[in-house]
Amino acid sequence: MDIKDIIKPENKVYAKTPVLTDNILHYCPGCTHGTVHKIIAEVIEEMGIQDKTIGISPVGCSVFAYNYIDIDWEQAAHGRAPALATATKRLNPSKYVFTYQGDGDLASIGTAEVMHACNRGENIVIIFINNAIYGMTGGQMAPTTLLGQVTATTPYGRDAKLNGFPMKITELLAQLEGTCYVTRQSAQNPAAVRKTKKAIRKAFENSMMGKGTSFVEVVGTCNSGWKLSPVKANKWMEENMFPFYPLGDMKDR
C-alpha cells in the first residue's frame, strides 16, 4: 500500500486546532506550557469563541503565549495580569477574558492582584501553571518550591527557616467569597489532559454566568529547571508535587 493511499481525509483521526498558530514553540521539550496552550486553544475552538476571547500573558516563560494561541492578547507587567483582566472584562463584559500565569508571576509578585481580583469575584478565568520554579530567569526558587527542593537560589535545598514555606495559594483563593470554581489539575498523561480540558472549559463557561472568578491550577514540570529528563520530571512531579499539591476540585458552585 502506498503512503498516498493512507493519507486521505477519511482516514484523519486527529488535526491540530486552527486556534493554535504554526509558530514553533520556544518551550523546552517536556514543558507543560505547550500542552496547556493546546488545551486552551481546543476549548476556544470547540466553544466557537475565538473572536470573543482576550488572553492576558504574564512575565515568565509563557510571556510569549501570544505567539501560539491565535486570539487577541494583552501582555501584562510581572504579576499584574488579574488587574488587566479586571478592567478588560468590566469594560467588555461580552468577551471571554483569561489570564495565563506562572507561579512566580501569580504567587509571588502578583499576590495582591490575584487575591483582590478573586475577592471581587471578577468574571474572569485565571489559569495558573505551577511548576515550583522560575523557568525564564534560570531556575530560581518560586513561592511554590517544595521544602528540600534544589534551585539556583536554594542550592542546598529549600529550608523553611531560611526561605519560608511553599505556598498553597490555590487553597487560599478557594476561601474567598468571590471565587466560584477553584480546581487543581495536571497534564502529564492523556487522562490528566482530558480532566484539565474539562476544567478549563467549565471555567470559560462560568465567566459568562456572572458567578465570579474561576481558577484552574495546573501542576506542571520544568524539566530544564529541575534538571530532569521529561519522563523523570513527570515521575518526580507525581511523587513529590502531588502529595503536597493534591489534585481535584476545591470549590465548585
Partner 1 sequence: MAEKILMKGNEAIAYGAIRCGADGYFGYPITPQSEVMETLMEEKPWETTGMVVLQAESETSSINMVYGGACTGKKVMTSSSSLGISLMAEGLSYLAGAELPCVIVNVMRGGPGLGTIQPSQADYFQAVKGGGHGDYKMIVLAPASAQDMYDFVGLGFDLAFKYRTPAMILSDGVIGQMMEKVELGEQKPRRTDAEIAEQCPWAVVGKPADRKRNVITSLALESPVQEAHNIKLQAKYKEIEEKEVLYSTYRTEDAEHLFVAYGSIARICETAVDIARENGYKVGLLRPITLYPYPTKQIQELLPQLKSVMAVEMSAGQMVEDVRLAVEGKVPVNFHGRMGGMIPSPDEIYEAFVKSINK
Q: Which positions touch partner 1 (CB under 8 A)?
A: 50-54, 56-57, 63, 66, 70-77, 80, 83-88, 90-92, 95, 112-113, 115-116
Residue 61 CB, shortest distance to partner 1, in Å, is 13
Angle between helices 190-206 and 32-47 in degrees, nearest 10: 50
In the bound state with partner 1, the residue whose beta carbon lies nearer, of 138 and 246, is 138
Residue 188 CB, shortest distance to partner 1, in Å, is 29
In the bound state with partner 1, the residue whose beta carbon lies nearer, of 64 and 236, is 64
In the bound state with partner 1, the residue whose beta carbon lies nearer, of 67 and 140, is 67
Residue 85 CB, shortest distance to partner 1, in Å, is 6
Cα separation, 54 vs 181, in Å, equals: 20
- Exposure string of 62-101, with b = 16+ CB inside 10 Å and e = fewer, is bbbbbebbbbebbebeebbbbbbbbebbeeeeebbbbbbb
Cβ-contact 179, 170 below 8 angstroms: no
Residue 86 CB, shortest distance to partner 1, in Å, is 6
In the bound state with partner 1, the residue whose beta carbon lies nearer, of 55 and 139, is 55
Cα distances (Å, whole numbers) of residue 21 to 18, 36, 205: 7, 14, 24
Residue 67 CB, shortest distance to partner 1, in Å, is 8
Cα separation, 217 vs 225, in Å, equals: 19
In the bound state with partner 1, the residue whose beta carbon lies nearer, of 50 and 240, is 50
Strand-pairing partners, residue 100, are 127
Question: Which residue, chain included where needed, has cell 471565587?
Answer: 179
